[in-house]
Amino acid sequence: MVTSVLTRLVPDTTVEVHAVCLDIDDTLIDYDGSARSALAALVGHDGAWPDWQRMTDEHVARAISGEFDYDTMRRVRTKAFFAGRGEYLDDAEVFRREEHRLAEMERSLRVFDDVVPCLDWLRATGIKIAAVTNASGAHQRAKLAAAGLGGFFDHVAIAGELGVAKPDPQIFLTACAGLGVDPGTAVHVGDRLDVDAVGARNAGMHGVWLNRTGRWSDVPAGVAAIASLAELPELLVCDLSG
């Protein structure tokens, strides 16, 4: 077993990689897919998804800033969402609908097909693995465990526990410190170009943008792009014969 891989992620240079960090939602777990089907089950159709996403982003930012905890955030968000559609719910009805939505999400939780083979490969190389996520602690740990992924990670850095969120360099540096590696020898992979890949690059790591659509035009300097986690081994391990 080795504890590093050599990579040419940096052009014309060969560097050692000692750790790989991965985002969770929409990188490992199809969060949008399960959230979207759970919302459709709640409102009876799929058309409300853009409004829901926008309101969720706004409320998650308020939770991360400390305005309220994650459970309160969900109830405030759900109440505001239905109020925006002309339904003014009392607290008991908000609670009932949110419980129903969460049960639907749990039922439809799906790990992307390329995740376990990739994590198995990373494990086999012996390099360290961390999850770096912008959500709350209990929520994300429970989700990793429910998805059967909890055992793969040497460290989990969670914005809700740290009080700092991606793309702030501090959360990336905290993850590297938790793994005991230098940021310059660590890679972070995530589905958000700005929050994950550029944020990691700005923290001194190697940023990799996982864009499952496979469609991209401008990828910023110092960032690599892949369309599947199946491409990660090839990206990380350079061909020394080439």
Residues of this chain that interact with Mg ion (CB under 5 A) are 23, 25-26, 191
Which of 35, 195, 210, 214 is CA-nearest to residue 110?
A: 35
- The neighbouring-strand residues paired with 22 are 131, 189
Cβ closest to Mg ion, residue 5 vs residue 131: 131
Judge whether 160 and 139 are in contact, CB under 8 Å.
yes
Say how many residues make up the chain. 242
Q: What is the DSSP letter of 20?
A: E
Which of 79, 171, 86, 84 is CA-nearest to residue 130?
A: 171
For the bound state, the minimum distance from the C-beta of residue 190 to Mg ion, rounded and expressed in Å, comes to 5
Cβ closest to Mg ion, residue 31 vs residue 81: 31
Cβ closest to Mg ion, residue 23 vs residue 104: 23
Q: Which residue has the tokens 């339904």?
A: 87
Q: What is the DSSP letter of 10?
A: S
For the bound state, the minimum distance from the C-beta of residue 96 to Mg ion, rounded and expressed in Å, comes to 29
Judge whether 130 and 70 are in contact, CB under 8 Å.
no
For the bound state, the minimum distance from the C-beta of residue 49 to Mg ion, rounded and expressed in Å, comes to 16
For the bound state, the minimum distance from the C-beta of residue 84 to Mg ion, rounded and expressed in Å, comes to 25
Cβ closest to Mg ion, residue 94 vs residue 200: 200
Cβ closest to Mg ion, residue 176 vs residue 193: 193
Q: Which two tokens stand for residue 31?
A: 């969060």
For the bound state, the minimum distance from the C-beta of residue 87 to Mg ion, rounded and expressed in Å, comes to 30
For the bound state, the minimum distance from the C-beta of residue 40 to Mg ion, rounded and expressed in Å, comes to 21
Judge whether 149 and 111 are in contact, CB under 8 Å.
yes
Cβ closest to Mg ion, residue 94 vs residue 157: 157
- The neighbouring-strand residues paired with 130 are 21, 155
